[in-house]
Structure 1
Amino acid sequence: MTFRPVTATSLAKPAMEGAGVHLHRVFGFGDPSETDPFLMMDDFRNDDPRLYEKGFPWHPHRGIETITYVLEGEVEHGDSLGNRGTLGAGSVQWMTAGSGIMHQEMPRGNAAGQMHGFQLWANLPSSLKMTAPRYQDISASDIPEIIDDDGTRVKVVTGGFWGKRGPVDGIAADPLYLDVSVPPGVKKSLPVDTRANAFAYVFAGAGRFSDAADPIGVRVEKEVAGQELNIRDLSGNRTLVRFGNGDEVTVQAGPDGVRFLLVAGRPIQEPVAWHGPIVMNTRAELQQAMRDLQNGTFIRSEH
Structure 2
Amino acid sequence: MKVLRLTKAQATQDGAGVKIQRIAGFDGKSIDPFLMIDELKSDNTQDFIGGFPAHPHRGIETFTYIRKGGFEHQDQMGNKKAIRAGQVQWMSTGRGVIHSEMPLADAKQGMHGFQIWLNMPAKDKMNPPKYQDSSARPLPTITTDSKATLTALAGEWQTAGKTVTSELNQLAGDGAISDISLPVNSALSLDLSHFGKVVAYIHSGQLKDTVHQAGYLLTLDPKTPIVLETAEHEAGLLLLAGQPINERIAHMGPFVMNTQAELQQAVRDYHAGLFGNI
Q: Tell me which interval the TM-score lies in, with the shorter structure as reference length.
A: over 0.9
SS at match of 1:287: helix
Cα distance in 2 for residues equivalent to 1:132 and 1:120: 20
RMSD: 1.8
SS at match of 1:255: coil
Alpha carbons 1:40, 1:122 under 8 Å: kept: yes
Q: Does 1:9 align with 2:6?
A: yes
Cα distance in 2 for residues equivalent to 1:65 and 1:23: 19
Which is worse superposed, 273-282 or 5-14?
Answer: 5-14
Residue 293 (structure 1) shift: 1.5
Distance change (3 Å), C-alpha of 1:130 and 1:48: same
Cα distance in 1 for residues equivalent to 2:168 and 2:95: 20
Residue 188 (structure 1) shift: 2.8
Residue 141 (structure 1) shift: 3.9
2:230 is aligned, of 253, 274, 281, to 253
Residue 178 (structure 1) shift: 0.9
SS at match of 1:289: helix
SS at match of 1:292: helix
Paired residue total: 273
Cα distance in 2 for residues equivalent to 1:278 and 1:108: 26
Residue 248 (structure 1) shift: 2.5
Alpha carbons 1:20, 1:52 under 8 Å: kept: yes
Partner of 2:198: 198
Pairwise mapping of residues 123-142 of structure 1 onto structure 2 (< 5 A)? 123-139=119-135, 141-142=137-138
Partner of 2:41: 45
Cα distance in 2 for residues equivalent to 1:186 and 1:248: 16
Cα distance in 2 for residues equivalent to 1:177 and 1:171: 10
SS at match of 1:256: coil
String of CA shifts for 1:106-155, please: whole Å, max 9, x gaps.
Answer: 02364652111001000100110000100012128430011111211110
Greater C-alpha radius of gyration: 1
SS at match of 1:32: coil
Distance change (3 Å), C-alpha of 1:131 and 1:203: same
Structure 2: gaps of 5 or more residues: none
Q: Which amino acid is the alignment partner of residue 35 of structure 1?
A: I
Pairwise mapping of residues 183-222 of structure 1 onto structure 2 (< 5 A)? 183-208=183-208, 218=209
Alpha carbons 1:89, 1:140 under 8 Å: kept: no
SS at match of 1:170: coil
Cα distance in 1 for residues equivalent to 2:61 and 2:276: 16
Q: Which amino acid is the alignment partner of residue 128 of structure 1?
A: D
Moved over 3 A (4+): 108-112
SS at match of 1:173: helix
SS at match of 2:173: coil
SS at match of 2:172: coil
Structure 1: gaps of 5 or more residues: 209-217, 219-232
Alpha carbons 2:155, 2:170 under 8 Å: kept: no
Q: Does 1:18 align with 2:15?
A: yes
Distance change (3 Å), C-alpha of 1:252 and 1:84: same
2:261 is aligned, of 284, 288, 291, to 284
Cα distance in 2 for residues equivalent to 1:135 and 1:60: 15
Q: Does 1:117 align with 2:113?
A: yes
Q: Does 1:268 align with 2:245?
A: yes
Pairwise mapping of residues 46-125 of structure 1 onto structure 2 (< 5 A)? 46-108=42-104, 110=106, 113-125=109-121
Distance change (3 Å), C-alpha of 1:170 and 1:285: same
Cα distance in 2 for residues equivalent to 1:69 and 1:11: 20
Partner of 1:146: 142
Cα distance in 2 for residues equivalent to 1:185 and 1:30: 36
Residue 242 (structure 1) shift: 0.9
SS at match of 2:199: strand
* Percent of pairs with identical residues: 37
TM-score by length of 1: 0.85
SS at match of 1:263: strand
String of CA shifts for 1:81-126, please: whole Å, max 9, x gaps.
Answer: 0111100111000001000000000023646521110010001001
TM-score by length of 2: 0.93
Q: Which amino acid is the alignment partner of residue 296 of structure 1?
A: G
Pairwise mapping of residues 232-243 of structure 1 onto structure 2 (< 5 A)? 233-243=210-220
Cα distance in 2 for residues equivalent to 1:109 and 1:266: 38
Residue 245 (structure 1) shift: 4.1
Distance change (3 Å), C-alpha of 1:47 and 1:255: same
